[in-house]
C-alpha cells in the first residue's frame, strides 16, 4: 500500500518499480532514483496510484507548446511512460518536457526573481526526470549530463531531489520511485 508524507510544498508518494520489472533486488531506499510528477495536473493522480495506463489515456492528445500547462503535462507523460517501461515513447516525452519547460522560461523574459526561480525549478525537474530515464535505459553519459544541468537550476527541495539522483547514479541504482509535487 502506498504511503504519504507531507512537506511544506507537496505531498510525496513513493511508487517503486518492482524488482521483477527491472530484474534486480532493491537497494537501500536512499539510493533510489526519484522522478517527479505533478499531482494537480492531468494524469497526476493516476500516476500516483500506479495506474500508468489510465494516466496515459488522460494525457493522450493533451499539451501543445501553447498550453499554459504544457511543460507539466509533458512531464507527467514522461514519468508515466518511464514507469510503464515504454522506453522509446518515454524518451520522446521527456525530451518534450525539457523543451517545453525551457520555452516557458524564454517566453517570460521579464519575469521577476520569484517567477524565474520557479521556472528554473521546473526545468531542473524535467532534466532530473529525463536523467532517470536515461540511466534506466543505459545512457550513463546523458544521465550525468542532464543531472549537471539540473544541479545548476535546482533550488530547495528540488536541490535535494537532484542530489538524491546523483547519489543513486553513483550507487548504480536500478530502482526508481515517483514523488509528487504541485505544479505552481
Cell numbers at residue 57, please? 489515456
Percentage of the chain beyond pLDDT 70 is 73
Percentage of the chain beyond pLDDT 90 is 47
Please name the helix (run of DSSP H) or strand (run of DSSP E) that holds residue 179, with its range, or none.
strand 176-181
Task: Say what the pLDDT of residue 137 is.
Answer: 94
How far apart are alpha carbons 130 and 37 in whole angstroms?
Answer: 12
Q: Residue 12's beta-bridge partner residues?
A: 5
Confidence of residue 170 (pLDDT cuts 50, 70, 90): confident
Please name the helix (run of DSSP H) or strand (run of DSSP E) that holds residue 129, with its range, or none.
helix 113-136
pTM value? 0.77
Q: Is 36 helix (H, G, I), strand (E, B) or coil?
A: strand
Cell numbers at residue 68, please? 499554459
Sequence-ordered strand ranges (E) for 78-172: none
* Residue 130 structural domain: 4-181
User: Poorest-confidence range of 94-98, 111-115, 134-138?
Assistant: 111-115
Confidence of residue 13 (pLDDT cuts 50, 70, 90): very low
DSSP 31: G
Domain total of the chain = 1
Amino acid at each position: 500500500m502506498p504511503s504519504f508524507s507531507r512537506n511544506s510544498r507537496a505531498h510525496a508518494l513513493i511508487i517503486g518499480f518492482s524488482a521483477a520489472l527491472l530484474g534486480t533486488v532493491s537497494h537501500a531506499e536512499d539510493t533510489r532514483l526519484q522522478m517527479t510528477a505533478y499531482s494537480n495536473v492531468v494524469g497526476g493522480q493516476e500516476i500516483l496510484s500506479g495506474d500508468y495506463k489510465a494516466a496515459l489515456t488522460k494525457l493522450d492528445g493533451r499539451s501543445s507548446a501553447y498550453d499554459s500547462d504544457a511543460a507539466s503535462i509533458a512531464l507527467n507523460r514522461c514519468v508515466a511512460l518511464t514507469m510503464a517501461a515504454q522506453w522509446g515513447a518515454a524518451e520522446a516525452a521527456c525530451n518534450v518536457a525539457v523543451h517545453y519547460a525551457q520555452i516557458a522560461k524564454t517566453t517570460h523574459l521579464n519575469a521577476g526573481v520569484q517567477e524565474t526561480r520557479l521556472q528554473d525549478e521546473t526545468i531542473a525537474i524535467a532534466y532530473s526526470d529525463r536523467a532517470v530515464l536515461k540511466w534506466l535505459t543505459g545512457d550513463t553519459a546523458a544521465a550525468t549530463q542532464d543531472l549537471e544541468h539540473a544541479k545548476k537550476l535546482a533550488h530547495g527541495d528540488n536541490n535535494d531531489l537532484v542530489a538524491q539522483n546523483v547519489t543513486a547514479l553513483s550507487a548504480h541504482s536500478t530502482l526508481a520511485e515517483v514523488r509528487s509535487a504541485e505544479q505552481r
